[in-house]
């Protein structure tokens, strides 16, 4: 008999990822202690102009300017340069972070610059980074960009496999008098809180399938909920049967690891408001089932749970940072898709929770099955709107690549608001249509609909399938994640889960209050 692996308990979360980073204050550049480095985001173009901030002494900028001229530094997006300059007779590291053209810059570039600052600081042995933001003239660095830089910096401190020698993350300090930078400090604190939530959940998301099956994800979600004062309800196999979640059960029936549906709830200060419901696909490992995936690169399918991981991080931000008036509910629908003797077969017909029957033509299109039941659960909660996130289709990467994830919706205002929120934090999404014409591609002679189309418009077909399980009077949006993980370390962070979408949802909730109107 094959026995499941022992659970990995939430108590194994790394403390460094959970603890908020302390923000220090340095009054002027001349008083920088040893081990501190200045980090200066710069825009391409007129690099020979005045100092990017009045916080920098003119003679210091003159030296930096000289270095820029000698090295022909352009400050294009991703460009990095390191220079050591004498400040008060002490050699100080200065990190120049290229952000490209100011006219074409966006929050994603600034967020990556923050991550690059943390990564390079660790490489250079710097203990504390002191950013210099151009906030003096014409709001060159608006508030949202400060938040994005801080979020990226916090993300850049994350270590996939920390060692004792690198157990302490690079620290952060602000330059200027405390009163003068009060608003700046608030933005940095907000960005750090978002980055901390993301880093905490990365520890869960990066766990492989043998260490984090659905029951373990449920344990960890429960622990996270307890830490943030959220209520948590978990449906095991018996409860899923009772709740008629037959599509979720069908996906998980080929594995000895039973599926779970996890619901985390934030009560809100005004309980008369309809709740915002966010749903995340949480497939802990996806072999494709009987429709087995190719062996090459299948190891990355431990990240098929990243939609649910974004929901976990978002819920912790809701409870610890935003604390909105509106109730917020996060649903993670978790299963392991395996080709066991009891697995769902191609051609099987299953009945979803809302009564619609589904002909399963490809068991590798399993994410839409687990989401079908979860979306029906969400509809019963009388929500203000529903947003789901999922690593649903490989076709999404074909359509848009990694720079943006597709978004589809039955409500234009909700889709547009989410797109704007993503632009503001660096989680960019781009709309695809859900024309009624696509619904014909899901017609089945044996069931209400089939789970795949003819191979064309794969991402849109996935969204069209999900739309069939959402009441038409409920605003709904679906985000098909294309950059949920990095296969190798980047210049701004480590390999592994990115938790794309959590910052987007947080910014949207803060700006909209959780209403689709």
Positions marked catalytic: 293, 368
Number of CB atoms found within 10 A of residue 271's CB: 10
93: buried, middle or exposed (CB in 10 Å: 19+, 13-18, 0-12)? buried
Q: CA torsion angle for 467, 469, 475, 479 (degrees, to 10)?
A: -50
Strand runs (DSSP E) across 88-198, as ranges?
90-101, 128-131, 171-175
- Judge whether 80 and 120 are in contact, CB under 8 Å: yes
Q: Which residues, other chains included, contact 102 with Cβ-Cβ below 8 Å and sequence gap of 6+?
A: 43, 44, 45, 140
Going by the DSSP 8-state scheme, the letter that residue 322 receives in this structure is I
Instruction: Say how far apart CA 240 and CA 438 lie, in whole Å.
Output: 31
Where do the H-state alpha helices sit in 206-324?
A: 214-228, 237-242, 246-252, 306-317
Is the sign of the CA dihedral 30, 36, 41, 47 positive or negative? positive
**Max intra-chain CA distance, the chain:** 81
Going by the DSSP 8-state scheme, the letter that residue 482 receives in this structure is S
Whole-angstrom distance between the N-terminal and C-terminal Cα of the chain?
54
Q: Which residues, other chains included, contact 8 with Cβ-Cβ below 8 Å and sequence gap of 6+?
A: 207, 211, 212, 216, 220
Residues 67-92: b if buried by 16+ CB within 10 A, e if exposed = bbeeeebebebbbbbebebebeeeeb
Instruction: Say how far apart CA 148 and CA 460 lie, in whole Å.
Output: 30
Q: Which helix (H) or strand (E) holds 431?
A: strand 429-431
Q: If phi over 0 gives left and psi between -120 and 50 gives alpha, with beta otherwise, what is residue 194?
A: alpha
| Partners of 44 in beta bridges | 101
């Amino acid at each position: 008999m094959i026995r499941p692996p022992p659970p990995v308990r939430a108590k194994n979360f790394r403390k460094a990822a959970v603890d908020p980073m302390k923000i220090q204050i340095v009054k002027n550049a001349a008083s920088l202690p040893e081990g501190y480095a200045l980090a200066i985001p710069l825009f391409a173009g007129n690099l020979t102009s005045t100092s990017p901030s009045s916080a920098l002494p003119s003679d210091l900028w003159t030296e930096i300017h000289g270095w820029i001229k000698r090295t022909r530094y352009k400050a294009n997006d991703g460009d990095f340069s390191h220079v050591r300059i004498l400040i008060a007779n002490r050699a100080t590291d200065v990190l120049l972070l290229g952000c490209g053209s100011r006219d074409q810059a966006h929050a994603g570039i600034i967020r990556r610059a923050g991550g690059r600052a943390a990564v390079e600081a660790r490489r250079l042995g710097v203990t504390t980074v002191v950013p210099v933001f151009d906030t003096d003239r014409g709001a060159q660095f608006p508030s949202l960009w400060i938040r994005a830089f801080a979020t990226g910096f916090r993300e850049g401190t994350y270590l996939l496999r920390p060692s004792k020698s690198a157990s302490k993350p690079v620290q952060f300090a602000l330059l200027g008098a405390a009163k003068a930078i009060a608003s700046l400090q608030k933005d940095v604190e907000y960005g750090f809180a978002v980055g901390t939530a993301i880093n905490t959940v990365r520890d869960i998301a990066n766990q492989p399938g043998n260490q984090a099956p659905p029951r373990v994800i449920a344990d960890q979600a429960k622990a996270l909920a307890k830490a943030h004062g959220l209520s948590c309800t978990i449906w095991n196999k018996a409860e899923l049967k009772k709740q008629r979640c037959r599509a979720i059960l069908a996906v998980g029936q080929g594995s000895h690891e039973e599926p779970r549906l996890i619901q985390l709830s934030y009560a809100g200060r005004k309980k008369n408001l309809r709740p915002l419901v966010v749903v995340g696909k949480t497939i802990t490992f996806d072999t494709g089932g009987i429709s087995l995936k190719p062996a090459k690169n299948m190891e990355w399918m431990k990240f098929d749970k990243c939609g649910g991981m974004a929901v976990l991080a978002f819920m912790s931000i809701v409870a610890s940072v935003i604390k909105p008036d509106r109730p917020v509910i996060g649903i993670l629908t978790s299963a392991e898709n395996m080709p066991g003797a009891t697995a769902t077969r191609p051609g099987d017909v299953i009945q979803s929770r809302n009564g619609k029957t589904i002909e399963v033509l490809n068991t590798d299109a399993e994410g839409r099955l687990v989401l079908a039941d979860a979306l029906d659960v969400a509809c019963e909660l009388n929500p203000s709107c529903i947003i789901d996130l999922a690593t649903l289709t490989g076709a999404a990467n074909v359509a848009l690549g990694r720079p943006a994830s597709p978004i589809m919706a039955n409500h234009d205002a909700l889709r547009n608001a989410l797109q704007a929120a993503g632009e503001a934090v660096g989680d960019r999404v781009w709309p695809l249509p859900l024309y009624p014409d696509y619904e014909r591609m899901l017609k089945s002679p044996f069931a209400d609909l089939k789970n795949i189309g003819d191979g064309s418009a794969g991402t849109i077909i996935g969204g069209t399938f999900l739309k069939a399980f959402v009441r038409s009077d409920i605003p709904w949006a679906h985000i098909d994640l294309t950059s949920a993980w990095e296969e190798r370390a980047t210049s701004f962070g480590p390999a592994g889960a990115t938790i794309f979408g959590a910052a987007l949802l947080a910014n949207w909730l803060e700006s909209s209050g959780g209403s689709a109107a």
